[in-house]
Chain A
Amino acid sequence: MQAIKDNHQWLMALAVVLAMPLLIDSGSLASEVLIYALAVLGCNLLLGFTGLLSFGQGIFFGVGSYTLGNLLVRLDLPLAAALPLTVLAGVVSAVLVGWLAIRQRNVYFALLTLAMAQMFYFLAYTMTDLTGGDNGLLGVPRPPLSILGVELLSLESPWQFYRFVALCFLVAFWLLQRVTTSVFGRTLLAIRDNEARAAAVGYDVHGLKLAVFALSGGVTALAGGLLAMMAGIAPLSSIEYHSSEMILVMTIIGGTSNLFASLLGAGFYVLSADWLSFIWPRWLLLLGVLLMLVSLYMQRGLWGVLESLWRLLRGRRGAAPDATQPEQRP
């Protein structure tokens, strides 16, 4: 029973992963939800758990896309090797960006990440050999997952690809759940609450922030790589300011108090975008309205709304689970 309680977030995520093929027609769309959910998890690690508002997530997303694209196209590496290397590229780029950005705090930190995001965008724009510039890196293949020449999983059809993305997502989610509930994860919360106090009590705040940046970068790069495989192209847009902005928006809409909320935020945005843009090309206007509503009335995001509904239905039975508050242990 305790095991279920400890892992309830992951189990909810599993439920969603299993439910999507039943509720959604398009395997690509379902994959997109999970891909962006990974990116939002990366952003939430920084924002919800450490209190770092980063406008630079697009950098790691783009790095992921371009790295995987280049490894598959240029170097023809097998997927089982290319994917971990992509995550590594994300980690390295995040450590670089983080190392510079954490020299400042609050608004200045956020603006630094914004400036760096713009710099990377223009770098990507001009380094056309590596990135394909405006056109993006074309012809990213979708090789089957194989080890030592033995094919394990074909990724050809959209739903086959979805299985793979779901696997990556669930593994990543589980790892992140472990990390956020660990001693390290709890220390991040302390940093979020009061950096000065955390330092005064003995924590190497810089080092810890770098560590969470590394995690965030790795997860986000994984997402970017998966997107490149899904779309067949590593586009310039994934490293654009808009991309960073939207990842941040999805994070806040979903709610920053736990990991599952990140899946909610990504799912909501991706599905709304798909559904609404079909009906009305100016659907972003509705998103704008929603953003304003969330800032004014629903700061706990979609998760908060669901939580309130749940409590209403259950008749207020004590505090609802919140991963960023330590649970009361007997």
Chain B
Amino acid sequence: MTATPVRPILRAQGIVKRFGKFTAVQDVNLSVAPNTIHSVIGPNGAGKTTLFHTLTGTLPATAGTIEFDGVDVTALADHQRVRHGIARSFQVTSLFPSLDVRENLRLAVQGVHRLAAADGWLPPTGPRARRELVDEILERMGLTRVGGLPAGTLSHGQQRRLEVGMALAARPKAIFLDEPTSGMGVDDIGGMKALIHGLRGDHTVVLIEHNMGIVMDISDTITVMQQGRVLVEGKPEDIRNDARVRTAYLGNMITGGAA
């Protein structure tokens, strides 16, 4: 691998997020290189999810700038950032429970196109059903069998996979995954880990994860947060051995794990 500096696909500078008197994120800088897996870790309450919210536009940042793929997206809301190539999954499963899995994905695929939803005349049949892409994602997430079931009836593991699938459906440049394996059983986790690792070729992945087995094994860069600030950033080996990180985590969860 050459050491040629590559322009980061995401550059966030001076991000601050306040809720009334409480500052959840304080002066965070984040640079994410394209086609890498960049993990954000930290103890609970570190501000990771809040940071995600500001990066994806779910919440507006109180201060700071965010540049994505050369475009200043700071003032854009989440639904606008999707068009620029940002997609996300949520920490707490957030699907369309009464609609079936295929429909969930179709909506996600359609959502990228600016005025797609403005069609008040034609039903989502034919080209508008986006069959190919939906089928592809169902296949990739192992959900083909349950395609016709309401999303709310899926098992937790299946729902978590659909969460990721929803993000992929937007064919994004960068995918933000917030604890994708949360609550998943051991068997499912392995599959998810392989999947995320495989996304690297076509996408940039920004990942919040508590499972250090995954973080240490697949990340290219790790940013450690604590109490709203960046504590340290670097490659997995560096983070593993960093004293400050050990202290932050009370030392016992960051050694990485099998597979």
Contacts and interface: CB of A to CB of B under 8 A. Distances in A.
Q: Do chains A and B touch in the complex (CB under 8 A)?
A: yes
Interface of A: 178-179, 181-187, 189-190, 193-194, 196-205, 208, 211, 324-326, 328-329
B128 interface: yes
Given A199-B78, A200-B78, A179 B120 contact: yes
B58 A196 contact: yes
B118 A203 contact: no
A182 B122 contact: yes
Most buried by B among A194, A200, A205, A325: A200
Interface stretch (B103-111, B137-145, B190-198): B103-111
Given A190-B107, A199-B77, A200-B78, A182 B119 contact: yes
Contacts of B107: 186-187, 190, 198, 201
B126 to A, nearest CB: 10
A326 B99 contact: yes
Contacts of A325: 98-100, 150
B117 A199 contact: no
B95 A197 contact: yes
A183 B121 CA distance: 7
Nearest to B97: A193
Nearest to A6: B123
Contacts of A194: 94-97
A201 B120 contact: no
A197 B90 CA distance: 9
Contacts of A184: 117-120
Nearest to B129: A329
Contact of B170 (A186, A201, A211): A201
Interface in B213-251: none
A222 B111 CA distance: 32
Contacts of A179: 120-121
Given A185-B120, A201-B87, A203-B79, 18 more contacts: A182-B119, A182-B124, A183-B124, A183-B128, A190-B107, A193-B95, A193-B98, A197-B166, A198-B107, A199-B58, A199-B79, A200-B88, A201-B108, A204-B117, A325-B100, A325-B150, A326-B100, A328-B148
Contacts of B118: 184, 211
A200 B123 contact: no
A9 B90 CA distance: 37
A326 B147 CA distance: 13
B58 A200 contact: yes
Q: Which 8 A-B pairs have the closest CB atoms?
A: A202-B111, A202-B82, A201-B111, A193-B96, A183-B119, A187-B117, A184-B120, A197-B94
B54 interface: no
Nearest to A181: B123
Given A183-B117, A201-B107, A202-B112, A189 B99 contact: yes
Contacts of A329: 125, 129
B83 interface: yes
A200 B90 contact: yes
Contacts of B74: none
A183 B110 contact: yes
Contacts of B99: 189-190, 193, 325-326
A183 B116 CA distance: 8
22 contacts: A179-B121, A182-B120, A183-B110, A183-B119, A184-B117, A184-B119, A187-B107, A187-B110, A189-B99, A190-B96, A197-B94, A197-B166, A200-B79, A200-B90, A202-B79, A202-B108, A202-B110, A203-B79, A204-B117, A205-B79, A325-B99, A329-B129
